[in-house]
Amino acid sequence: MTRRIFIPRDATARSLGADAVADLVTSEAARRGIAITVVRTGSRGAMWLEPLVEVEIEGQRHGFGPVTEADVAGLFEQDFLNLADHPLALGAMDALPWLARQTRVTFARCGVIDPLDLEAYKAHGGFAGLARALGLDSAAIISAVDEAGLRGRGGAGFPTGIKWRTVATTPADQKYIVCNADEGDSGTFSDRMLMEGDPFAVIEGMAIAGLAVGATRGFIYIRSEYPDAIATMTNALPLARAGGLLGPALLGSRATFDMEIRVGAGAYICGEETALLESLEGRRGEVRPKPPLPAVSGLFGKPTVINNLVTLATVPAILTGSGEAAYGALGTGRSRGTMPVQLGGNITRGGLVEVPFGTSLRTLIEDFGGGTASARPLKAVQLGGPLGAYLPPDALDVPLDYEGLSAIGAMLGHGGIVVFDDTADMGAQARFAMAFCALESCGKCTPCRIGSTRGVEVIDRIRAGENTEANLTLLEDLCATMTDGSLCALGGLTALPVTSALRHFPEDFRDTRGMP
């Protein structure tokens, strides 16, 4: 029987040599006269095991990783296709603790199927969400999203059902669904993984959103830094049309929805929803004042649902399986369901971990992540991207949920966790936060445009020992002005990494000239 071998084509796996490994596995098998089929999948998110090679035996998948080109011949020598013992053997993938301890809902198919195989998508639960939605009216779809407790996974955590209901009840001749795939936060890659590993889920989620609010057209705005994701989504659209996930007759019904792909151009601010809409319309990515909300007057002035990609891709999963009640039963407090957390930076077992809300940072970083990659003491964790707080090691017992984090002056953002060891200079990190804001500010509002540049200067003066006390006061004052006076989250949250670094690591802001 022809063995099936699964090797990811995810960008991180490829960046670590997955293509070369796949080519070698194919040629080694041919050379030895062994019949195999290599299936290229998305990534399961265990980036520390990439390139991960899986062998399917009697429906069970067994892993080997991380596999380099140099390992391939040896794997064949030791008969890995029949699971002879090998130092890289991981055993049955379903039993791998790193995966078994997760609760995979949004990422259930990612890393499991060929992302462009519509039959495999269907066999693993695809289409069922849209099929159910087609039998429901708008209010019932939105009620299901409410019951699941789904909140925006882009960072703001706004209840998705409320947003959708606003669009649904605003009369207009045209409405739009916009999927925000401008995943610019350092430390995050969940949107990228889903686009590369399960693009049909994104498309199905957008189609369901269209049904719920009465929108027939959609756009997905993908950042240009993700060429693989752009390619996979581009290849997925015609397949989705042929399969009835998109087009004039969704799954043979009378409902219509279609979408197109737009590519960003390297502007971080375009992840902010109104700047993204400006960019889609062909303008500079400058933030719009709110109100009006995009739900009332969004793309081309029409009512628009604009949601993060993970939010939309979770909707089909919520409507299927055990349904919205089961999803809503996961999590804690007002943070329901699961969160795909991304572990990056200086961490041993980096990757994507999907867990129910309420899991502690310590569990994620120590149990899943295995501590720092450098084996040096952990010094700080930045949570939620470049606008997120820096937390010290003693804050790691905080549960990961919207309210719990906000109580300690942090935020979840898009779920990125970046770990730093004790060689990090938190004064330099604070300076970078201001410099990044200055570089990426759209220029629309003064506190962000000017404040960020002044922030760099003040931090430089503090670190050079010039009027330290007065300049520290000035920095706090500047941070308060940016927080209170900026139009959007870029200027409004840049103070968070700065003030948290200042509060938790004051020693890194001292004048260090002349010290050993």
Partner 1 sequence: MGAAEKAAERVFEPARAEAAIAACQHLAGPLLPVLHALQAEFGWVPDAAVPLVADRLNLSRAEVHGVLSFYHDFRRRPPARRNLKICRAEACQAMGGERLAAHAQGRLQTEFNGTSADGQVDLDPVYCLGNCAAAPAIMLDGRLIGRVTPARLDALLGMPLAQAEPAR
Can you give the binding site for partner 1, defined by CB under 8 A?
9, 11-12, 14-16, 19, 40, 47-48, 50, 183-189, 192, 224-228, 230-232, 260, 262-268, 279-285, 300, 342-347, 350-352, 373, 382, 386, 416, 418-421, 424, 429, 432, 436, 439-440, 442
Query: What is the distance between the alpha carbons of residues 121 and 112, in angstroms, rounded to a whole number?
Result: 10
Alpha carbon 331 to its chain centroid, in Å, reads 18
Query: What is the distance between the alpha carbons of residues 348 and 345, in angstroms, rounded to a whole number?
Result: 9
State the minimum distance, in angstroms, from the CB of residue 495 to partner 1. Answer: 16
Residue closer to partner 1 by CB (options 264, 492) is: 264
State the minimum distance, in angstroms, from the CB of residue 281 to partner 1. Answer: 4
For every residue of 348-416, DSSP letters joined together read TT-EEEEEETT-BHHIIIIIIT-S-TT-SPEEEEEESSTTSPEE-GGGTTSB-SHHHHHHTT---TTSE
Contact partners, residue 95, CB within 8 Å, separation at least 6: none
State the minimum distance, in angstroms, from the CB of residue 42 to partner 1. Answer: 12
State the minimum distance, in angstroms, from the CB of residue 343 to partner 1. Answer: 6
In contact, 72 and 24? CB cutoff 8 Å: yes
DSSP-assigned letter for residue 305: E
In contact, 258 and 219? CB cutoff 8 Å: no
Residue with tokens 């090691």: 393
Residue closer to partner 1 by CB (options 126, 415) is: 415
Query: Burial level of 277, CB count in 10 A (0-12/13-18/19+)?
Result: buried
- Give strand pairing partners of 244: none
Q: How far is CA 82 from CA 39, 57, 61, 65, 77, in A?
A: 18, 8, 12, 16, 11
Residue closer to partner 1 by CB (options 40, 109) is: 40
Residue closer to partner 1 by CB (options 166, 174) is: 174
State the minimum distance, in angstroms, from the CB of residue 143 to partner 1. Answer: 32
State the minimum distance, in angstroms, from the CB of residue 262 to partner 1. Answer: 7
Residue closer to partner 1 by CB (options 376, 454) is: 376
State the minimum distance, in angstroms, from the CB of residue 150 to partner 1. Answer: 24
Q: How far is CA 252 from CA 123, 246, 255, 316, 418, in A?
A: 19, 10, 8, 18, 45
Query: What is the distance between the alpha carbons of residues 31 and 17, in angstroms, rounded to a whole number?
Result: 21
Residue closer to partner 1 by CB (options 14, 62) is: 14
Residue closer to partner 1 by CB (options 112, 380) is: 380
Residue closer to partner 1 by CB (options 198, 440) is: 440
Burial 419-441 (b: 16+ CB within 10 A, else e): bbbeebbbbebbbbbbbbbbebb
Residue closer to partner 1 by CB (options 130, 261) is: 261
Nearest to 53 by CA among 77, 30, 23, 31: 23
DSSP-assigned letter for residue 151: B
State the minimum distance, in angstroms, from the CB of residue 367 to partner 1. Answer: 16
State the minimum distance, in angstroms, from the CB of residue 51 to partner 1. Answer: 11
Residue closer to partner 1 by CB (options 268, 402) is: 268
Q: Measured on CA atoms in the order 312, 316, 322, 323, is the torsion positive or negative?
A: positive
State the minimum distance, in angstroms, from the CB of residue 342 to partner 1. Answer: 7
Query: What is the distance between the alpha carbons of residues 368 and 353, in angstroms, rounded to a whole number?
Result: 8
Query: What is the distance between the alpha carbons of residues 464 and 382, in angstroms, rounded to a whole number?
Result: 25
Alpha carbon 19 to its chain centroid, in Å, reads 23
Query: What is the distance between the alpha carbons of residues 241 and 238, in angstroms, rounded to a whole number?
Result: 5
Residue closer to partner 1 by CB (options 45, 129) is: 45
State the minimum distance, in angstroms, from the CB of residue 443 to partner 1. Answer: 9
In contact, 42 and 76? CB cutoff 8 Å: no
State the minimum distance, in angstroms, from the CB of residue 16 to partner 1. Answer: 5
Residue closer to partner 1 by CB (options 144, 277) is: 277
